[in-house]
Amino acid sequence: MGMGFTLADQVYPNTRTSNAASVQLKYYLPWRAALTAQYRFYRDTWGVVANTGELDYTLPAWRHWIFEGSLRWYEQTHANFYSDLFPRADYQNFMARDRELAAFHTYTIGAGASYQFNVPYAPWINRSTANVRVDHLLVEYSDFRDALLAGEFGAGNEPLYKLNANIFQVFLSIWF
C-alpha cells in the first residue's frame, strides 16, 4: 500500500532579488551598560517577507567580566512557489518543499559572559577573551509538516514541524 504521495524534484527560479532595511538604536546607560534594539525588514522576488526584532543588554561588570543577554524574534512568510504538499507532479513551473522557504517564526533567548585577560610573554597580542554563551531557540512552522510521520498520520495530516534547541558556545578570541 502506498504512502499517499510520491516524491518529485524541486524546481527553483534561476534568479532572486532581495531588499532589506534595518534600524538599530543603542542607548548607553550611566553605569556603563548598553541597551540595544534592532529591527530588520526583508522582502524578495520569491514572495518571502520577513521581520526580525532583537533586544540586547550588555553589562561590563566586576573587574574583567562582561555579561550579555538577548531576546530575538523572527517571522517569515512562505515563498510563492512553496507548498508542503502539491496535488501532483509538475503542478506548476516552480515547486519547492524546502522548509527554509516555508512560513515560520522563531524566538531565541540567550545569555553570555566574556572574561578579558592578558597573555604573558606575548606583546603582539593586544587583547584576548574567554567567552561562553547559551541560547535557547524555538522554531515553529506554520505550513511545513513532518513528512517522516506520513505513514502514521497520512500525507498532509502530519503534525507541524517544530524545533526546540539549546545552543552552547565556548571560545577564545585573540586580537593582534
pLDDT of residue 39: 98
pLDDT of residue 75: 98
Q: Spell out, as residue ranges, where the chain has pLDDT lower than 50.
A: 1
- Cα angle 52-29-107, degrees, rounded to a multiple of 5: 25
Q: Output the nine-digit C-alpha cell for 49.
A: 517577507
User: Of 85, 84, 88, 86, nearest to 142 (Cα)?
Assistant: 84
pLDDT of residue 4: 58
pLDDT of residue 1: 40
Report H helices in 9-165.
150-153
The three-state DSSP-derived secondary structure of 36-75 is EEEEEEEEECCCCEEEEEEEEEEEECCCCEEEEEEEEEEE
89 touches 37 (CB < 8 A): no
Q: Output the nine-digit C-alpha cell for 30.
A: 550611566
Q: Record the pTM.
A: 0.82
pLDDT of residue 148: 79
Q: How far is CA 157 from CA 30, 82, 145, 153, in A?
A: 55, 17, 8, 6
pLDDT of residue 3: 56
User: Of 19, 20, 36, 16, nearest to 28 (Cα)?
Assistant: 36
